[in-house]
Structure 1
Amino acid sequence: MSRADAWRRWALASSFACVAGWNDPASAAQPRLSFDIPSKPLKSALVDLAVQAGASISTQAAAGCATTSRPLRGRFTLQDGLTKLLAGTGCGFRMIDAGAIEIVRLPPAKPAAVRGARPEPTPSAALDELVVVATRRPTPADRLAYAVSAVEGSAIAGQSLRDANDLALAVPAMTVTNLGPGRDKIMLRGLSDGPLTGRTQSMVGLYLDDTRLTYNAPDPDLLLIDMTQVEVLRGPQGALYGSGSLGGVLHLVTEPPAPDRFEAWIAGNVGATQGGDGSNGLSGMVNLPILDGRGAVRAVLYRDQQGGYIDDANLDLKNVNRALRSGGRLNVKVDLGGGWTLTGGGAAQFINSDDTQYALATQAPYTRRNQVREPHDNDFAEAHLNLKGEIGGIQARWTISAVNHDITSRYDATAAPPIALAPGPAAYDDDDRTHSLVTEGSLASPEEARVQWLVGAFLARTHQDIDLALTRLADAPVQALAETRRDTLDEAALYGEATLPIGRSLSVTLGGRLFTSKTRVNSQTSDQAGPIASFSGSLDQSGFAPKIVVSYALSPSALIYIQATEGYRAGGFNTTGPSGQMFSARGQAEPRRRYDGDELWSLEAGGKVSLLDGRLRLRAAAFQASWKDIQSDQLLPSGLPFTANIGDGRNLGLEFEGGYRLGRLQLGANLLVNAPELEKANPAFPVRKDVSLAGVPHRAGGVTAHYDWPLGSDMTLELDGRYAYVGHSRLTFDATTSPLMGGYATGRLALGLATPRWRTTLALDNPTNARGDTFAYGNPFSLRSTDQVTPLRPRTLSLSIRVTY
């Protein structure tokens, strides 16, 4: 809640001044409109109402009201709908004109405050008034002095954003590799350590509500179903989130269980990909009140099959890269009384990919030649318990969660095995099992406190079991090379921040994280003759990651800020290699036995403004990221992975995000301009002279458009479109494996019909059938000897239907 004291004074004065006129009937009679809004966080519900009514709503005063709205379904006038939605929340509303509404706090209030208040007119910013919780304290997005994007649940459904890859086309400065479902890495704001997945920790912190999803594994690629919103914080977040948030944080916020009603929906979809297999999916949700309305259970199940479109000419197989993703979530929420709630539950998802999704540039489009299929599984499960409430007005929260993440991959090693083998098919298998237990607690100041503050503590233990094996498959299978590795990571941290108002419009936020970690590694490598190498080692790391933010409110609708933040990742050990593989001591030639931690400092200046009564919103930021001792997963000459510190780099960038709404038409645009540079290369690492930072396009951007057209009393026609461009970049830092890729555009066109009970959408993805080479690779063993491409999914037509009960 980094906001100047002037905001609080203005909001309080507005509340008191508008009490007498709340629900003012002076506005002209309005037509009856169709609404379908479930009980949800109040600000999100008001955003839904604004979109469905084609109105502008200022929600600044809603921060002091009840956090959850009443459901609103059926046909109402705008005033009647607002009255029903706000009933019991402690909020009312004032009609500014027929299409503009101001939310106000209800009494008690002192008459003197009413006479003395002289509030300025408030620009409505309904599209901006999403509440971001990834900052650890719920705060409207437009009041945050950060580069943050929040995509509300209705927009996720309306634009059919299924996963992180889709999200990257709608959110500025976000890039996702395209290795395949469950294999990808997420990058924000042009900060990339390359697409290879070895032992480096994630660049972006991934969270499902309060649960940390990964440490150094690929994105579990959860399906974006039944989400309240998805939040993307760009730039290092080490102060609040610690190691592994070097580029930022992706926060998935699920719909909470609703204790005041039964609710259910079921949805299905089918799709056809040009030149590929068909796709289909089925999902459903049910919400059941329990304990006489003091609690609720919410369950989600889904199954999603994506048809393949890559052919393997050597194996005489068509559409080999089919993928099946199935999973579910269960949450139980109980009101304990006294303002305390307990939420428990879990989520699980299983991705089974029949093969990888790369082709060869020397073959026909979407075609390659392998000797062995390359399946991949990504199985994820988590369980959590969350307790939150108030202690003397102080907001308290405690969470404990357990995560199991099992990733198995097979690669065809026939053409270039890491050790000499007799002719014939060979496979390399990688089984990575991660188990973590995390607990975290925090205390935060009351919302009305003049100085806003947050303190917290974090503890985690992570076990990672890695089994690698090279097997010759001809005749009787023979295991020619194997490694068994066991890692244990212990982490602890204390963190906090405070926002200090200075005068009426200026505020300063100071924060930081005091952290310590210990890594222990045990590895045993063997071949057909027996053990060939072993290693045991440990590594301790501790430090402090600071943050400072200065923000200034130019007006109630405009904010500028400057911030300096740090992110970091821990070091580790290289152990994987064939017989005779040598790892150098620290400071000597690569590959080294130990790689160091890296750190990134970001200096950012930005601003946000809402114009034209909230119909136009603009956000812009300029930043410089200085990255020291960059960690990157690379390939040994054998094709096996190792981690190197490739040098020091920086990225100068400018990002822009804007949105405009005119009636039922919504337009959006985003742009990222980068100037990456590898300032100081590691002399022991053979980088290309023309490589800057791997995977960082110099230009990227997109536009979106959405229009609702009423058809009769209950039906709406929805038109939706998006276009995204990704510029050129290099695959890796390595001089021998850094092909040029990117420089492509893709998009989506959709036509939908919706009523309060059902919705159907016909969509066309990649309408121009672009074949751009995305940021990814295929097979690490043949990467040096073949020209691999990872094309976009071809033109795909899909039909989806959803029915609500």
Structure 2
Amino acid sequence: MSHPQRFQRTPLAAALGVALLPLIASPVHAQLEEVVVTATKQAESLQDVPISVNALSGDSMREQGIMTFDEYVNFLPNVVDAGNAPGMREIYIRGSATEQGSVTVSSAQGSAPGVALYLDETPVSFGGRNLDVYAADLERIEVLAGPQGTLFGASSQAGNMRMITNKPVIGEMQGRVDVGMSSTHGGDTSSNVEGMINMPIGDNLAIRAVGYSNRQGGWIDNTASTFTPSGPVIDRNSIGYGPYFRNFPDTVISSVSNTEEVKDDWNEATYNGFRVGVKWDVSDDWSMLVQHSSQKLDVEGSFLIDPSLGDDKSAKYQPESNVDEFDLTTLTIEGRVAGLDIVYAGGYLDREIDSLIDYTHYNNGGGYITYYLCSGNIYADPGPSNQNTCFDPRKAYSDTTTNERTTHELRISTDPDRRWRVMAGVYFSDVETKTLGEFQYYSSGDAFSDFQVQYYGAAAQSPYQLANETIPGVAGTNQVGPTGPLTTFYNDYTRTEEELAFFGQIAFDITDNLTATLGARKYDLETQLQGASNFSFGCRYGGNGGGGAADGFCNSHRFSNSPTDRFTALGAYNAGSLSDEQFLSLLNYPGAAGTYGGSAKEMFRGGGSNAATLQAIKEGRLDISSINSSGVTEEDDTIIRFSLDWRINDDIMVYGIYSEGYRPAAQNRNAGQLASNQSGIYEGYVVPAVATTDELENMELGIKSELFDNTLRLNASIYSTEITDLQVARFDPSNVAFLVFLENVGDAETRGLDVDFMWAVTGRLTLSGAASILDTELTAINEQLQGVSVPKGSELPLAPSFSGNIRARYDFDIMNGNAWVNAALVYRGETVTGIVGSAEFMTDTHNLAYGNDPGVSIQNEGGTFGTVETSNGSIPSNSRYVNDAATTLNLGLGYARDNWTAEVFVNNVTSEEGYVVQTAGKFTPESSMMRPRTLGLRFGYSF
């Protein structure tokens, strides 16, 4: 069987050189195929949907070898993904970005994503860690740009991405096997195998099964290095607890080598999984589909490089890994009653993530480092005359996160051929995320033991740390067994989100060619954060120390932090059931002192006190109005969408849209705490209790056209959006708080133009492409972030002013088969990283800590960053790192005969680096990069 000539409707970009044009043997034109999408939750032609939709077909993905998250996002010019590694990425559409998520807080403690990710009918979004679904046997990927909140709900704020799987086909026996292998320049080899079979069972039942295994070899080398903590760096980051290095001129500082972790090509990822679906046509009007998907993603090593070391190199002092497993079971029932179409879609997602990352860089910016790192002499009097020892500086972070999501949606719709068309539905979701995070410090055992010897004179006493212990819990904690042997700081949280929504849409054909559509969604959303952060400060295990504790317990609750108790108290005060006097007497971990020993402290201690937090509430600086008496944040609102589309003729449609989107609020674990630094711009600063819902309003005009006898498809849209109360995550231990927190940075605007086309030049040559022009601006800054974030008028991060791609495919007959050559050229414009202007300060930290410059470009945003000083005594500029523009070229040559296909390909021909600087949770810059030039072969057999 010869390979059919196909012209896929897709924004997937590629380009073929002009040199191929003389090879065109015939001027015969072929019409483009229709592409059907479900962007409006009904099957419609792409050209009939008055929404900006990009559709990437399964055939196109297979032709281009697109298999993973970063690969299919790379071909969508109005979509950007950012993150640390496979399974640790987040999506941004049309420039609505603040900052990529930090892996140490990307689960229960971070913001919800602004772009919703769907697998068929089920949302699988997750802040900082979107589900990295391997693209096996997909029918297509749909990207809906702009707010889709009325139909798709929370997190569809800036758009959504939907992965649509191939469903069982009744009455047909089908199958396919694909294998591939490749080699990366300067790196390891990769291989993949995929198999699919579709089997009919009788006349009304079919089963479809898919299995895959994909190993992606690494190319980054973890190089030999030695780390010595920098006294000047640690001194300027000290916050209120522990002396300075400079007071101890005879300090002995230990260095550490990473010899045991040196490895070439250490960043590898392996995808293993399967999907099984069963479809049953119950009757002529009713059908049922059950699917189960299971995947394990195993990542070893780090996908981040140290730019100061040169290309493809890192210097980590701990092993790194990320094991991400999920199981998703879905049920879809479709039927028709009394002229109404009825659809029920339910899903249950169970996901578990186990991560380990090197955290040694915390020595370059974390607070309390002298306490964790050095011996008891650091606290002795008179101080400078005493020698001090600072121990092994290695640090690691271990994280276990589970995410369970149950969703139900029931919707009905009228006959799509009527003049009046109605869709209505109800949606419910229940999401629970649990995270257990342990910060492991190699120095603390020696440092704390020495501290006890200095102060209690007993060398045999247990160290002051949380190692090997079961921590007393509160509501929302999940610890089962003891902590690790090096644990010094411990996060144990549960975050819940529950949403009930009613939605509807009415479409009316004003004339045969003019249609008005109005949609709305009424939602009630509840979010809550419970659990605790436990510190080592003041721990006295086994009855050690004054006022000791029972064996195996710790009286550190006076220093620890429980959002369970904080939000219960704030909610009670908001509800009027807690008086001013009662608020002033609140204790951290109520009752802990009597049970576990030690003395209880005020609940809102830290940079302030209960009295200071109460004053902030009364002055309106701390908003607690959305918190109920149970400590739950409640939100309810109605959002709308209106569109008007005019079909000028059978080939051209123009449309206008007004739409709104939202994402959930987020509670802060250190809610109500005043900044530890109460000078300069931080005077009066208080950590928000809740980062409120940020809302997006969008105005859009678009055109969809099929021209020249349906040989050219050209679509374009121009849009303007306003974002109110844009959420951002911050980590500022030197000035504000020891814990990452969220707040609303201010307002922003984005304006842009999206264009995509496909052109069947002849019956053999097809060109396609897409482009995005984007302009973003912060239009207002929250008063608390003046001088901390970049100033008003600055561009949003990760928002290139121009991105585009172009693709060409030329088919020709040879040796009784069909051959093709294709090429893809992708350009991603220059961007900046982050919303907080700390680049110059981070670069100065790198210079002090490592003695060299990271070599990353910096963009000065004007003004100054905070009140800290650099090594030359000046206050650093408010500045951000620049991610240079990148251009990649992919080439392929294939042949098909009968049921067989084979292709040789080269991706990233010029080995473009495409660096993107990562700053979230970092103290010196690190960068992600593109996979270098990769040469490979693909084979396929279908039946």
One-letter code of the match for 2:534?
S
One-letter code of the match for 1:664?
R
| Mapped partners of 2:711, 2:752: distance in 1 | 27
Cα 1:448–1:414, aligned 2, differ >3 Å: closer, same or farther?
Answer: same
**Residue number in structure 2 paired with 1:516:** 524
**Residue number in structure 2 paired with 1:51:** none
The alpha carbon displacement at 1:640 in A equals: 5.1
| Mapped partners of 1:445, 1:309: distance in 2 | 54
**Residue number in structure 1 paired with 2:56:** 151
Cα 1:660–1:47, aligned 2, differ >3 Å: closer, same or farther?
Answer: closer
Q: Is the 8 A contact 2:918 2:926 kept in 1?
A: yes
- 2:936 matches 1:798: yes
- 2:166 matches 1:255: yes
Identity, % of aligned pairs? 23
**Residue number in structure 1 paired with 2:209:** 299
- 2:918 matches 1:777: yes
Secondary structure of residue in 1 paired with 2:97: coil
**Residue number in structure 1 paired with 2:656:** 562
- 2:753 matches 1:659: no
- 2:803 matches 1:700: yes
Larger CA Rg, structure 1 vs 2:
2
- 2:124 matches 1:213: yes
Deviations along 1:338-393, one digit per CA (max 9) or x if unpaired, are 32111102111111111221111211311121211221122221101111011122
- 2:146 matches 1:230: no
Out of 914, 919, 926, the residue aligned to residue 788 of structure 1 is 926
Q: Is the 8 A contact 1:721 1:747 kept in 2?
A: yes
Deviations along 1:267-316, one digit per CA (max 9) or x if unpaired, are 111110011111111111111111x1211111111111111111111332
Query: Aligned-residue CA RMSD in angstroms?
Result: 2.5
| Mapped partners of 1:168, 1:136: distance in 2 | 22
The alpha carbon displacement at 1:590 in A equals: 5.4
- 2:908 matches 1:766: yes
**Residue number in structure 1 paired with 2:227:** none
Secondary structure of residue in 1 paired with 2:72: helix
**Residue number in structure 1 paired with 2:2:** 34
Out of 303, 306, 331, the residue aligned to residue 360 of structure 1 is 306
Out of 724, 727, 737, the residue aligned to residue 628 of structure 1 is 724
**Residue number in structure 1 paired with 2:249:** none
Where does the alignment leave 5 or more consecutive residues of structure 2 unmatched?
Answer: 10-26, 225-260, 374-390, 446-466, 468-484, 540-555, 565-630, 840-879
Out of 707, 730, 738, the residue aligned to residue 611 of structure 1 is 707
| Mapped partners of 2:178, 2:886: distance in 1 | 32
**Residue number in structure 2 paired with 1:70:** none
Where does the alignment leave 5 or more consecutive residues of structure 1 unmatched?
Answer: 1-32, 38-44, 49-96, 101-123
- 2:896 matches 1:754: yes
**Residue number in structure 2 paired with 1:547:** 641
The alpha carbon displacement at 1:788 in A equals: 1.8
One-letter code of the match for 1:649?
A
- 2:319 matches 1:373: yes
**Residue number in structure 1 paired with 2:769:** 669
Q: Is the 8 A contact 1:202 1:218 kept in 2?
A: no
One-letter code of the match for 2:397?
Y
The alpha carbon displacement at 1:229 in A equals: 1.2
Cα 1:744–1:46, aligned 2, differ >3 Å: closer, same or farther?
Answer: closer
Secondary structure of residue in 2 paired with 1:710: strand
The alpha carbon displacement at 1:694 in A equals: 1.2
| Mapped partners of 2:119, 2:346: distance in 1 | 13
**Residue number in structure 1 paired with 2:863:** none
| Mapped partners of 1:435, 1:538: distance in 2 | 19
One-letter code of the match for 1:408?
D
Alignment of 1:486-501 (within 5 A): 486-501=494-509
**Residue number in structure 2 paired with 1:172:** 77
Cα 1:590–1:724, aligned 2, differ >3 Å: closer, same or farther?
Answer: farther
Secondary structure of residue in 1 paired with 2:784: coil
- 2:420 matches 1:445: no
Deviations along 1:723-756, one digit per CA (max 9) or x if unpaired, are 1111111111011143111411112111111124
- The structure that is helix-richer by fraction is 2
- 2:272 matches 1:329: no
Secondary structure of residue in 1 paired with 2:361: coil
Q: Is the 8 A contact 2:424 2:504 kept in 1?
A: yes
**Residue number in structure 2 paired with 1:340:** 286
Cα 1:451–1:216, aligned 2, differ >3 Å: closer, same or farther?
Answer: same
Cα 1:389–1:217, aligned 2, differ >3 Å: closer, same or farther?
Answer: farther
Q: Is the 8 A contact 1:483 1:576 kept in 2?
A: no
- 2:831 matches 1:735: no
**Residue number in structure 1 paired with 2:621:** none
The alpha carbon displacement at 1:217 in A equals: 5.4
| Mapped partners of 1:621, 1:272: distance in 2 | 40
Further displaced range: 632-641 or 567-576: 632-641
One-letter code of the match for 2:515?
S
Deviations along 1:765-785, one digit per CA (max 9) or x if unpaired, are 1101112213x527x55x33x
The alpha carbon displacement at 1:581 in A equals: 7.6
| Mapped partners of 1:526, 1:170: distance in 2 | 44
The alpha carbon displacement at 1:143 in A equals: 0.5
The alpha carbon displacement at 1:98 in A equals: 9.1
| Mapped partners of 2:350, 2:814: distance in 1 | 48
**Residue number in structure 2 paired with 1:478:** 486
| Mapped partners of 2:494, 2:294: distance in 1 | 24
Cα 1:767–1:47, aligned 2, differ >3 Å: closer, same or farther?
Answer: closer
Cα 1:712–1:512, aligned 2, differ >3 Å: closer, same or farther?
Answer: same
Deviations along 1:534-592, one digit per CA (max 9) or x if unpaired, are 12231000001100001111110000011000000121211169x998799xx973532
Deviations along 1:623-662, one digit per CA (max 9) or x if unpaired, are 0010000012232337853222111000111111111112
**Residue number in structure 1 paired with 2:427:** 458
Cα 1:746–1:428, aligned 2, differ >3 Å: closer, same or farther?
Answer: same
Cα 1:341–1:279, aligned 2, differ >3 Å: closer, same or farther?
Answer: same
One-letter code of the match for 2:432?
H
Q: Is the 8 A contact 1:691 1:730 kept in 2?
A: no
Q: Is the 8 A contact 1:443 1:454 kept in 2?
A: yes
Displacement over 6 Å in runs of 4+? 45-48, 97-100, 579-584
| Mapped partners of 1:539, 1:803: distance in 2 | 54
| Mapped partners of 1:235, 1:245: distance in 2 | 8
**Residue number in structure 1 paired with 2:220:** 310
| Mapped partners of 1:646, 1:663: distance in 2 | 53
Out of 754, 766, 778, the residue aligned to residue 678 of structure 1 is 778
The alpha carbon displacement at 1:504 in A equals: 2.5
| Mapped partners of 1:137, 1:478: distance in 2 | 54
| Mapped partners of 1:35, 1:770: distance in 2 | 33
- 2:86 matches 1:181: yes
Q: Is the 8 A contact 1:172 1:656 kept in 2?
A: no
| Mapped partners of 1:361, 1:633: distance in 2 | 24
Q: Is the 8 A contact 1:150 1:230 kept in 2?
A: yes
Q: Is the 8 A contact 1:629 1:648 kept in 2?
A: yes
Secondary structure of residue in 2 paired with 1:633: strand
**Residue number in structure 1 paired with 2:552:** none
Cα 1:310–1:391, aligned 2, differ >3 Å: closer, same or farther?
Answer: same
The TM-score with structure 2 as length reference comes to 0.70
One-letter code of the match for 2:646?
Y
| Mapped partners of 2:187, 2:282: distance in 1 | 53
The alpha carbon displacement at 1:179 in A equals: 2.1
Further displaced range: 538-547 or 147-156: 147-156
| Mapped partners of 1:565, 1:789: distance in 2 | 35
Secondary structure of residue in 1 paired with 2:929: coil
Cα 1:415–1:187, aligned 2, differ >3 Å: closer, same or farther?
Answer: closer
Secondary structure of residue in 2 paired with 1:416: helix
One-letter code of the match for 1:154?
D
